[in-house]
Copies of this chain bind each other. A is one copy, B any other.
Amino acid sequence: MSTIVSVNTRDIRFPTSLQLDGSDAMNPDPDYSAAYLAIRTDAGDGLEGHAFVFTIGRGNEVQVAALEALRGHLIGRDVEELLGDMGAASLRLTHDSQLRWLGPEKGVMHMAIGAVVNALWDLRAKRAGRPLWQHLAGLSPEELVSLVDFRYLTDAITPSEALGILRAAEPGRAERTARLLEVGYPAYTTTPGWLGYSDEKLERLCREAVADGFPQIKLKVGASLEDDIRRLGIARRAVGPDFPVAIDANQRWDVADAIEWVNALAEFAPAWIEEPTSPDDVLGHAAIARGIEPVRVATGEHVQNRIVFKQLLQAGGMDVMQIDATRVGGVNENIANLLLAAKFGVLVCPHAGGVGLCEAVQHLSMFDYVAVSGTMDGRMIEYVDHLHEHFVTPTIVARGRYLTPTAPGAGTEMLADSIDAYTWRGAHAEAPA
């Protein structure tokens, strides 16, 4: 038997706003940051659970405070008991009756719970000697169903329906695991499309993306229609008429604006419009989806929990589900999201980029391929070539595909030197004038 003996948190910030990497219509000057967590035990095996919440600068200290608020749920706990029933461990966190008031299941407190859940999964996968995707894909359908909190979901998916989906995918697991290890998982790149880049840089990066073998690129839109038309024209000429070009408005529009703006860009045949409006607006997404057909609607990086994903699917407001590794309540709630997507037959194309989001979320898509949806068709994980060098097992993308990770763990551990070097000391992230 072993026990959790320490929970260390750090406020880590990269001064990315200095380069305008990551700039879009709603986020002009992000400082990519991580509210970071490391869980240590007295097992004597040297294994630790690491995870984080991705933020974009100011307020990262609030996210760290939320991680600290969960310390009492960890210190002194029996590790084998916690890791042995991750469904119960997750419920104990989300159903803390006092902390629940601060959400419920949304915002700073819910993301902190997600990081704790993810850190426990990192530790469990390391103990199992497997990358997280493979560890999850080795669990029985019954074990996987036990990880999901079906509260508020049963009008869309029941435990027995989830079991049916997982059982149907059981036969081909070994073949798909082998194939995944051989070919990796498709990636698309957002690198060319940040709003802060010049037209010349945009064009060059578009050509490079095609040359690098990516099957899709994505451009930020929504600040100026005139600019969007010019930039999409540049991109379209650079990549050719048939190459998929997605666009991303980062919640910029109201419903009518979204419909008008996307239709004004229809000549460029966008692969999808991402976050056309508020992530909270289920009915708005549905109205937009109806108004811009055949352009698909993608959303999810800011969707707070499985309950909103459920409704986006019920209302027909989302054609592409973009799960995020650190927005919801961790691996467990993302398994719920993957099961919802499978039930409703929509594509899952995760949000990534930021700090460590590629490293974390690839495990969920790969698990989905092996054990849930059973397919990679039309699916891809966002990729931004940025800040990977700070991770112990950095994401590797080659020829437009994520190389399947084989190192034990969830991919969420940062290098000790990077943690120390970028621990925030108040040098940036002042409130704007």
Flag A109-137 by CB within 8 Å of B: 1 or 0 each. Answer: 11100000000000000000000000000
**What 1/0 flags go to A62-77 for Cβ under 8 Å of B?**
1101101100110000
> Are A58 and B98 in contact, CB atoms less than 8 angstroms apart?
yes
Whether B58 contacts A99 by the Cβ 8 Å rule is yes
Q: Are B109 and A73 in contact (CB under 8 A)?
A: no
Identity of the chain B residue whose Cβ is nearest the Cβ of A95 in the assembled complex: B26
Please name all residues of chain B whose beta carbon is closer than 8 Å to the beta carbon of A310 when the two chains form the complex: 281
Residue of B nearest to A354 (CB): B101
Residue of A97, A151, A315 with most chain B CB atoms under a 10 A cut-off: A97
Asked whether A72 and B109 contact (CB < 8 A) given A279-B104, A284-B155, A311-B281, the answer is no
Q: Which of A235-243, A249-257, A341-349 makes up part of the contact surface?
A: A249-257
Q: Are B308 and A97 in contact (CB under 8 A)?
A: no
A210 within 8 Å of B (CB atoms): no
Q: Are B251 and A72 in contact (CB under 8 A)?
A: no
Q: Are A155 and B287 in contact (CB under 8 A)?
A: yes
B251 touches A97 (CB 8 A): no
Q: At the interface, yes or no: A263 with Cβ under 8 Å from chain B? A: no
* Complex partner residue of A55 from B66, B102, B277, B281, CB under 8 angstroms: B102
Q: Is the CB of A98 within 8 A of B56?
A: yes
Contact with B along A42-63 (1 / 0, CB 8 A): 0000000000000111110111
Distance between Cα atoms of A180 and B216 in the complex (Å)? 62
Chain B, Cβ-Cβ closest to A277: B152
Q: Which residue of B lies closest to A30 (CB)?
A: B98
In contact, B108 and A109 (Cβ under 8 angstroms): yes
Contact with B along A421-432 (1 / 0, CB 8 A): 000000001111
Cβ of A322 < 8 Å from any Cβ of B?
no
Please report the C-alpha to C-alpha distance between residue A97 and residue B319 in the assembled complex, in whole angstroms: 27
Residue of B nearest to A104 (CB): B302
| Interface flag for A201 (CB, 8 Å) | no
What residues of B have a CB within 8 angstroms of the CB of A99 in the complex? 58-59
Q: Which of B97, B107, B307 contacts A107 (CB 8 A)?
A: B107
User: Shortest beta-carbon distance, A328 to chain B, in Å?
Assistant: 12
Closest Cβ neighbor of A73 among chain B residues = B431
Are A98 and B308 neighbours in the complex by a CB distance under 8 Å?
Answer: no
Verify A109–B107 contact, CB threshold 8 A: yes
Instruction: Find chain B residues with CB under 8 A from A311 CB.
Output: 280-284
Bound-state Cα–Cα, A198 to B72, Å = 32
Q: Which residues of B have CB within 8 Å of A277?
A: 152
Please tell me if the beta carbons of B283 and A314 are within 8 angstroms of each other in the complex.
yes
Which residues A275-300 have CB closer than 8 A to chain B?
277-284, 287
State whether A66 touches B29 (Cβ < 8 A).
no
13 A/B residue pairs, CB under 8 Å, sorted by A: A62-B62, A62-B66, A62-B108, A96-B432, A104-B302, A106-B106, A108-B109, A152-B281, A154-B256, A280-B304, A282-B282, A282-B311, A283-B311
